[in-house]
Amino acid sequence: SDPSLSAEAAPAREDKFLQQGARKALSTLCDVTAAPPVCRLPLSLDSERRAWALIRNRTVARVAAHVNSVDDDDRLLRQDDASGDLTVNQRHAVIVRREEKLGLQRWCSLVVMVSDFLDQPEGERALELVRVSDGEALETDEPR
Protein backbone atom coordinates (compact mmCIF):
# COMPACT_ATOMS: atom_id res chain seq x y z
CA SER A 1 0.00 0.00 0.00
CA ASP A 2 1.00 3.64 -0.58
CA PRO A 3 2.03 5.35 2.72
CA SER A 4 1.52 8.82 1.21
CA LEU A 5 -2.24 8.21 1.16
CA SER A 6 -2.53 8.60 4.90
CA ALA A 7 0.35 11.03 5.36
CA GLU A 8 -1.39 14.11 3.98
CA ALA A 9 -2.77 16.24 6.79
CA ALA A 10 -5.82 18.47 6.55
CA PRO A 11 -5.02 21.90 5.09
CA ALA A 12 -4.26 24.64 7.59
CA ARG A 13 -7.04 27.15 8.19
CA GLU A 14 -5.14 29.86 6.30
CA ASP A 15 -4.92 27.58 3.25
CA LYS A 16 -8.66 27.31 2.78
CA PHE A 17 -9.81 28.90 -0.46
CA LEU A 18 -12.43 31.28 0.93
CA GLN A 19 -11.89 32.03 4.60
CA GLN A 20 -14.55 33.45 6.88
CA GLY A 21 -12.95 36.91 6.62
CA ALA A 22 -13.34 36.97 2.84
CA ARG A 23 -16.92 35.71 3.10
CA LYS A 24 -17.72 38.42 5.66
CA ALA A 25 -16.15 41.11 3.45
CA LEU A 26 -18.17 39.91 0.47
CA SER A 27 -21.38 39.97 2.50
CA THR A 28 -20.87 43.69 3.26
CA LEU A 29 -21.12 44.43 -0.48
CA CYS A 30 -23.46 41.68 -1.69
CA ASP A 31 -26.54 39.82 -0.53
CA VAL A 32 -24.95 36.38 -0.25
CA THR A 33 -28.24 34.79 0.89
CA ALA A 34 -29.86 35.47 -2.50
CA ALA A 35 -29.61 32.87 -5.23
CA PRO A 36 -27.66 33.94 -7.19
CA PRO A 37 -25.92 36.47 -4.89
CA VAL A 38 -26.81 40.07 -5.68
CA CYS A 39 -24.10 42.75 -5.58
CA ARG A 40 -25.30 46.33 -5.50
CA LEU A 41 -21.96 47.81 -6.54
CA PRO A 42 -20.76 47.54 -10.13
CA LEU A 43 -17.70 45.44 -10.83
CA SER A 44 -14.67 47.05 -12.35
CA LEU A 45 -12.29 45.56 -14.87
CA ASP A 46 -9.46 46.00 -12.37
CA SER A 47 -11.32 44.19 -9.56
CA GLU A 48 -12.23 41.34 -11.91
CA ARG A 49 -8.62 40.98 -13.04
CA ARG A 50 -7.43 40.98 -9.42
CA ALA A 51 -10.07 38.43 -8.41
CA TRP A 52 -9.07 36.06 -11.22
CA ALA A 53 -5.38 36.58 -10.35
CA LEU A 54 -6.19 35.51 -6.78
CA ILE A 55 -8.01 32.42 -8.05
CA ARG A 56 -5.07 31.63 -10.34
CA ASN A 57 -2.50 32.01 -7.56
CA ARG A 58 -4.46 29.85 -5.10
CA THR A 59 -5.17 27.19 -7.71
CA VAL A 60 -1.57 27.00 -8.90
CA ALA A 61 -0.38 26.78 -5.28
CA ARG A 62 -2.78 23.91 -4.64
CA VAL A 63 -1.64 22.12 -7.81
CA ALA A 64 1.99 22.54 -6.72
CA ALA A 65 1.19 20.94 -3.35
CA HIS A 66 0.49 17.59 -5.04
CA VAL A 67 3.58 15.38 -5.00
CA ASN A 68 2.47 13.02 -7.74
CA SER A 69 0.58 13.27 -11.02
CA VAL A 70 -2.76 12.09 -12.35
CA ASP A 71 -0.79 9.50 -14.33
CA ASP A 72 0.73 8.24 -11.07
CA ASP A 73 -2.75 7.90 -9.57
CA ASP A 74 -4.01 6.12 -12.71
CA ARG A 75 -1.07 3.71 -12.51
CA LEU A 76 -1.73 3.07 -8.81
CA LEU A 77 -5.41 2.36 -9.50
CA ARG A 78 -4.54 -0.02 -12.36
CA GLN A 79 -2.08 -1.84 -10.12
CA ASP A 80 -4.75 -2.12 -7.44
CA ASP A 81 -7.22 -3.47 -10.00
CA ALA A 82 -4.76 -6.29 -10.63
CA SER A 83 -3.51 -6.89 -7.08
CA GLY A 84 -6.15 -5.59 -4.65
CA ASP A 85 -3.38 -4.27 -2.35
CA LEU A 86 -5.18 -1.05 -1.38
CA THR A 87 -7.88 -0.96 1.26
CA VAL A 88 -11.23 0.50 0.23
CA ASN A 89 -10.39 3.75 2.03
CA GLN A 90 -6.96 3.97 0.40
CA ARG A 91 -8.47 3.38 -3.04
CA HIS A 92 -11.10 6.03 -2.43
CA ALA A 93 -8.38 8.45 -1.25
CA VAL A 94 -6.50 7.92 -4.53
CA ILE A 95 -9.69 8.49 -6.52
CA VAL A 96 -10.53 11.68 -4.61
CA ARG A 97 -6.95 12.95 -4.93
CA ARG A 98 -7.01 12.23 -8.68
CA GLU A 99 -10.36 14.00 -9.15
CA GLU A 100 -9.11 17.02 -7.21
CA LYS A 101 -6.13 17.26 -9.55
CA LEU A 102 -8.39 17.04 -12.60
CA GLY A 103 -10.71 19.68 -11.14
CA LEU A 104 -7.77 21.99 -10.46
CA GLN A 105 -6.54 21.49 -14.02
CA ARG A 106 -9.97 22.53 -15.30
CA TRP A 107 -9.90 25.60 -13.04
CA CYS A 108 -6.47 26.52 -14.42
CA SER A 109 -7.88 26.32 -17.95
CA LEU A 110 -10.88 28.44 -16.99
CA VAL A 111 -8.68 31.05 -15.30
CA VAL A 112 -6.55 31.35 -18.44
CA MET A 113 -9.64 31.74 -20.65
CA VAL A 114 -11.25 34.37 -18.40
CA SER A 115 -7.99 36.27 -17.87
CA ASP A 116 -7.36 36.33 -21.62
CA PHE A 117 -10.93 37.52 -22.19
CA LEU A 118 -10.56 40.32 -19.63
CA ASP A 119 -7.41 41.48 -21.40
CA GLN A 120 -9.34 41.93 -24.66
CA PRO A 121 -11.54 44.92 -25.58
CA GLU A 122 -14.55 42.56 -25.50
CA GLY A 123 -13.84 41.84 -21.84
CA GLU A 124 -13.88 45.50 -20.97
CA ARG A 125 -17.13 46.00 -22.88
CA ALA A 126 -18.69 43.00 -21.09
CA LEU A 127 -18.19 44.77 -17.75
CA GLU A 128 -19.74 48.06 -18.84
CA LEU A 129 -22.54 49.15 -16.55
CA VAL A 130 -25.92 49.25 -18.30
CA ARG A 131 -28.89 50.80 -16.51
CA VAL A 132 -32.17 48.91 -16.77
CA SER A 133 -35.24 51.12 -16.97
CA ASP A 134 -37.49 51.22 -13.91
CA GLY A 135 -40.37 49.94 -16.04
CA GLU A 136 -38.69 46.64 -16.92
CA ALA A 137 -39.64 43.74 -14.64
CA LEU A 138 -36.69 41.85 -13.16
CA GLU A 139 -36.78 38.28 -11.84
CA THR A 140 -34.75 39.17 -8.74
CA ASP A 141 -34.17 42.30 -6.74
CA GLU A 142 -31.14 43.22 -8.85
CA PRO A 143 -29.81 46.78 -8.92
CA ARG A 144 -31.03 48.94 -11.79
> pLDDT digit string (tens) for 43-56?
788 888 998 999 98
List Cβ neighbours of 13 (8 Å cut-off, separation of 6 or more).
19
Residue type, 69: S
Task: Specify the pLDDT at position 32.
Answer: 76
User: pTM to 2 decimals?
Assistant: 0.59
Share of the chain above pLDDT 90, in %: 38
Share of the chain above pLDDT 70, in %: 76
Say which residue, 20 or 75, is predicted with more confidence.
75
Residue 86 has pLDDT above 80, yes or no: yes
Picking from 48, 58, 57, 63, the residue whose alpha carbon sits closest to that of residue 116 is: 48
